[in-house]
Amino acid sequence: MKTLALFRHAKSDWSDARARDFDRPLNERGQRGAIAMGRHIRNGRWRFDRIIASPAVRVAETIETASRAWGRAFPVEWDRRIYLASSATLIDLLREMDGDPESVLMVGHNPGLEDLIFDLVPDDGSSPLREIVERKFPTATFAVLELAIDRWEDLDLGCARLVELTRPRDLDATLGPELPD
């Protein structure tokens, strides 16, 4: 059994229309979301043998901010292939994992992370959490999948069970979608 946690970067800043997508930082709500999620992960039962992440600025800032909330810094393996990757690319990256860690935290982007959940968790009606992901996988969302594999190279479609899904608004209603006046 392997564990794969997925953490989508927090809300990014779109105020500079000239900035490259890769270089967009977090906005204020994103900072608050990363802090809330960092505290949530710290207080949970999850521990990670390896953290791999997209090197995009908004991902790096999400990790930095969440790590401060965890109360410690973690070594991160930056992998450019995660930046805006498809599910197929993410699966290939996980299959190539060196050292065969028991638990991995991947920090990245949509639609790749969301699609990875769809590819790994069977669509058989048995997962109410998957149904929530089908509606939306918002920024700063944290998901944990238990994989019915012994080695990462055995990762295959439909081999996972989604055991946790936490959105920022689940922790703080002000971090959810803006409501009409």
Give me the average pLDDT of each 10-residue run along the chain (181 residues).
97 86 94 95 91 97 94 91 97 95 97 98 93 94 97 97 96 74 36
pLDDT at position 78, please?
98
Domains of the chain are 2-9+19-175 (3.40.50.1240)
pLDDT of residue 88: 98
Q: At residue 86, what are phi and psi to the nearest 5 degrees?
A: -80, 165
Q: What is the pLDDT of residue 12?
A: 94
Strands (E), the chain: 2-8, 50-53, 77-78, 103-108, 142-147, 160-166
Return the pLDDT at 71.
85
Enter the DSSP assignment of 19. S
Say what the pTM is.
Answer: 0.94
